[in-house]
Amino acid sequence: MLHHFCESGVPDHRSLPADTLEKLLKYLVLNGYKALSLSEFVNALLEKQCLYKSVVFTVDDGYRDFLQYGFPVFLKYKIPVAVFITTHFIDGKFNFWWDTIREIVYQTELSKIEVRIGNKVIAGNSGTELEKEDILHRIIEHSKSLSRNQIDTVISDLSMVCGVSSIQRRQYALSWEEIIELESQGVEFYPHTCTHPILSQLSDSQVEKEIIESKETISACLKKPSNIFCYPNGRYGDFDPRAIETLRKSGYIAAFTSEEGFEFTTGTPDMYQLPRYALSDDVTRFKQIISGLEALKARIGSITNGFGKSNS
């Protein structure tokens, strides 16, 4: 699971630099791993095909930096990739709330920021880029579980605290024309809702709108079925049985979370709660993930915790 990409040699904790991505893909090729498209992977799960040494790459949201810095590397190594897009973001109807917070923090002239989020006060320096990124990360992490109205309040308060009344909005998203061109070169595109809400916080009708409208929009644009989904935020609790049932009724055959884990065809996978590993610029951890070591460590940890509980 990836979100952002940047040019080689640029330090950006949100993004995977192009040269690091190249190291990861080159390692796969040299060590006999098989890169599958997302549709191939889902079909393999459904048909219980062998997935030994198989790897799948997904990119969330639909940021344009994928086209600029990520796709050329995937293309060079002939590695398939799928992008889960938030359709209203692509349409230019809104920007993600975390990008708005980023703009405020980067536009402020304050050297220190202090903002209240619920019962928590987040404070930190904002003089250097490293300091800005640190307080940004903490504000965004504490805001992820909030409702959209609560996030709007955080943005309003932060804007007032930082003295930023006019927020500079940028065009971060891929365009539909770029999506069509990328699709013609093998990139798969699937829904990530219309507006990236926490689905468990929505009404039944809102859940249906986010899931069905995004599917119809992408299917109409690319003139092919769009039947694989990705939950916004994607942790357990961010989606619920209503969302899963809506996906089933709407013709989706699979949905991905951001919970970590492998999927095997030796058992019966839950096709609407498929896990993914988030990738960073840590090449060693990447090797541990694809080798199964991270999954083994998690399994041992759960067994150890189980023993601890039974003996307590």
- State the Cα torsion 127-128-132-133 to the nearest 10°: -170
How much of the chain, in percent, has pLDDT values that exceed 90?
A: 76
Q: Write the pLDDT tens digit of every residue in 113-166.
A: 999 888 889 999 998 888 998 999 999 999 988 888 999 999 999 999 999 988
Q: Write the pLDDT tens digit of every residue in 43-66.
A: 999 999 989 999 999 999 999 999
Residue 56's nearest CA partner among 35, 76, 74, 39 is: 35
Q: What predicted TM-score, i.e. pTM, was given to this entire model?
A: 0.91
**Domain residue limits, the chain:** 4-92+173-281, 97-162
Please name the helix (run of DSSP H) or strand (run of DSSP E) that holds residue 17, with its range, or none: strand 15-17
Fold of 4-92+173-281: TIM Barrel (3.20.20)
In whole angstroms, what is the distance from residue 117 CA to residue 115 CA? 7
In whole angstroms, what is the distance from residue 154 CA to residue 152 CA? 5
297 — pLDDT class (breaks 50, 70, 90): confident
307 — pLDDT class (breaks 50, 70, 90): low
Query: Across residues 278-293, what is the average pLDDT?
Result: 90
312 — pLDDT class (breaks 50, 70, 90): very low
In whole angstroms, what is the distance from residue 76 CA to residue 98 CA? 31
